[in-house]
Structure 1
Amino acid sequence: MSDDPYAALGVAKDASDAEIKKAYRRIAKECHPDLKPGDAEAEANFKAAAAAYDLLKDPETRKRYDNGEIDASGQERPQQQYYRDYAEAAGNPYRGQATDPDDMSDIFAEFMRGRGGFGGQGGREFHAPGHNLNFTLQISFLDAVFGASQKLTLPDGDRIEVKIPAGITSGQTIRLRGKGAAGYGEGPRGDALVTVSVADHPVFDRQGNDIHITLPITIDEAVLGGKVAAPTIDGGVNVTVPAGTSSGRTLRLRGKGVKKRGSAERGDQLIELTISMPDQIDDELRQFMDSWRETHRYDPRKGMPS
């Protein structure tokens, strides 16, 4: 992605949350691969915008990027590590105690009393696990639904593979054991904790294990009914629109949602129908509706307070 997420979205660094969201939605509508299949440039622009939006939409993550704590991909920038990082590591008997630099002499003194000194006659070396490293990983909507593998670059330049389980949601953390900071002495390495963030999709909206979409239909399809094409996460299907359908009616496709955790079953896809008017009302349609209204007038708002 771009080294500057603000540039990827075409907004200023002081842009509001609303401006950032509006910019992302505009690019998604213009460049999404589902809408422009085969257009490599559009796909690249969409991916860059999606990654940038995912980074900037969360105020805390945006603040950390602006402060230089994480890079444009959401990964931690290498930071100088101090002894107190090890003191806070899981498994350290001194975890949770004060580790202010002014108190370091007291801590070392405590080690010396408890362990008989560092090495030397009768002494033992101090060993502690390395501390955990925290990362964020932005993934696509469909990768979160079906599972995938992605490469993650560590601060030391090593690249590791992250296996993303099917059905993962934003905010969940994947633990990569032994991929964190080196231990102290002969202590084991810490873990890498990868917090996943799932990019929005311009068509699909996840609701638990169900997938929701809004599907526009024409006036004649609403009145007469018929078969219409609808997208699903598995590909396009034809669905039956009942005659006399109103906007807001929802169709359910069983088993077309997200795989349920610990089960082979999947959720459903919910298709909310909405009637889309033609771009222009021609004379023929206007005259027909004028004539029809004279003999078929009805009030869908009957009973509502005036």
Structure 2
Amino acid sequence: MSDNPYDVLGVAKDASADEIKKAYRKIAKDSHPDLHPGDAAAEARFKAAAAAFDLLKDPEKRARFDRGEIDASGQERPQQRSYYRDFAEEPGNPYRQGPRYEGYGDEADIFAEFLRRQNRQRGDGFAGRDVKARGADAHYALDVPFIEAATGGSMRITLPDGGDLEVKIPRGIADGQTLRLRGKGGPGYGGGSAGDAYVTLSIRPHPVFSRDGDDIVMTLPITIDEAILGAKVEAPTIDGPVKVTVPKGASTGQVLRLRGRGIAAKGRTAGDQRIELRIVMPKAVDDDLARFMEEWRKTHGYDPRKGVTA
């Protein structure tokens, strides 16, 4: 499989941002690991699409990739070769058209040799020392389940060389945030320090919960008798199920609030969980219920639409 992000998503190089997003969503829907447990090929397609989308959704990254400045993983491409070749060919340059660069395997060797010769010319005493260079930064995309993003956790990224990288997910991390892992990028040259790894997070939607700031929001179905008579029912939270009280005479759209049951990010007061009630009628209305309601309506009928006008 090509690692070119355009090929991975199946879009043209001049595709619009909307076309890129639609292509990613289609692959994510068809290949999501939750929908294909144990399917390594589907998981690989999903991860590749996520990485490609992470690069192409960022206009600056996309432009740099198109110019050849970074590769498909977001890492810097070596740029020194053309610069030093051009410098070496300048008229009057003492290194011009000589065999001085022959035998060097890569740009880092050329760079080191150039600086050593410059130092010898200056006579500053550093001629014999190797040049130290910091390693390249690495860029990754990570798909994080909603609950792990809300409560914190640890995940691993599989690296191109077959290794892996542990990523600590801070409690309450938001979609699109980027984590910096110091020293986890490319190795340095000549004893230089390693680069950093930058991990951009995409939070998966949850079938029950959504997030509003630091509040968790959900809809809780209740029966008609629970709405009329009131009840204690079980409701899920990001930390596990709890019992909540449905007040007598509850209506659809009524909101219950669980204080402190939302996102508890470091350095901030914990948010709440908001539970919107929704009355769900039975699948079939039996004769007993129908007769009861007919008699009830004769003496207790009311108009909830009174005062509602177009």
Q: Same fold (TM over 0.5)?
A: yes
- The 1:47–1:153 alpha-carbon spacing in structure 2 relative to 1, beyond 3 Å, is closer
Task: Quote how far apart the aligned CAs of 1:17 are.
Answer: 4.2
1:305 aligns with 2:309: yes
Distance of 1:257 and 1:272 partners within structure 2: 15
Map 1:15-30 → 2, pairs under 5 A: 17=22, 24=29
- The residue that corresponds to 2:67 in the other structure is none
Aligned length: 258
Q: Is the 8 A contact 1:246 1:273 kept in 2?
A: yes
Q: 1:291 deviation in Å?
A: 2.6
| Structural mapping, 1:187-266, within 5 Å | 187-263=192-268, 265-266=269-270
Instruction: Give, in whole Å, the separation in 1 of the partners of 2:39 and 2:295.
Output: 47
C-alpha contact (below 8 Å) 2:140/2:198 kept by paired residues: yes
CA distance in 2, matches of 1:188, 1:284: 78
Question: What letter is aligned with 1:161?
Answer: E
TM-score, normalising length: structure 1: 0.67
What code does the residue aligned with 2:307 have? G
Q: Which residue of 2 aligns with 1:175?
A: 180
Q: What is the DSSP-based 3-state SS (H/G/I as helix, E as strand, rest coil) of the residue aligned with 2:115?
A: coil
Shift of the alpha carbon at 1:49? Answer: 8.6
Q: SS state of the match for residue 300, structure 1?
A: coil
Contact 1:219 1:275 in 2 (8 A): yes
Change (3 A) 1:259 1:50: farther
Gaps of 5+ in 2: 2-8, 12-18, 63-70, 96-110
Shift of 1:152: 2.0
Deviation, 1:163, is 1.4
> d(CA) in 1 for partners of 2:158 and 2:296?
66
In the alignment, which residue of structure 1 is the partner of 2:14? none
The answer to whether residue 149 in structure 2 is matched with residue 144 in structure 1 is: yes
Structure exhibiting the larger radius of gyration computed from Cα positions: 2
Q: Which residue of 2 aligns with 1:83?
A: 78
1:279 maps to 283
Letter in 1 for 2:294: D
- TM-score, normalised to structure 2, is 0.66
Equivalent residue number for residue 44 of structure 1: 37
Change (3 A) 1:257 1:59: same
- The correspondence for 2:53, drawn from 60, 64, 85, is 60
Question: What corresponds to 2:116 in structure 1?
Answer: 119
Q: After TM superposition, give the deviation of residue 277 of structure 1 in Å.
A: 0.8
Closer/same/farther in 2, CA of residues 52 and 248 from structure 1, 3 Å limit: farther
- Percentage of identical aligned residues: 45
| Cα shift readout 1:130-163 (whole Å, capped 9, x = no counterpart) | 2211001112222112211222222333322211
The aligned counterpart of 2:103 is none
For residue 283 of structure 1, report the CA deviation from its aligned partner. 2.0
Q: Name the CA distance, whole Å, in 1 between partners of 2:295 and 2:148.
A: 52
Name the CA distance, whole Å, in 1 between partners of 2:197 and 2:303: 62
Aligned-pair distance for 1:20? 5.2
The match for 1:105 among 85, 97, 110 is: 85
Does the 8 Å CA contact 2:143/2:202 hold for their aligned counterparts?
A: yes
Question: C-alpha separation between the residues in 1 aligned to 2:246 and 2:31?
Answer: 31
Q: Secondary structure at the match of 1:44?
A: coil
- Cα offset, 1:252, TM superposition: 0.6
Letter in 2 for 1:118: L
Q: Which letter maps to 2:300? A: H
1:20/1:57 contact within 8 Å kept: no
CA deviation after TM superposition for structure 1 residue 107, in Å:
5.5
1:229 touches 1:237 (CA, 8 Å); kept in 2?
Answer: yes
**Distance (Å, rounded) in 2 between the aligned partners of 1:155 and 1:57:** 15
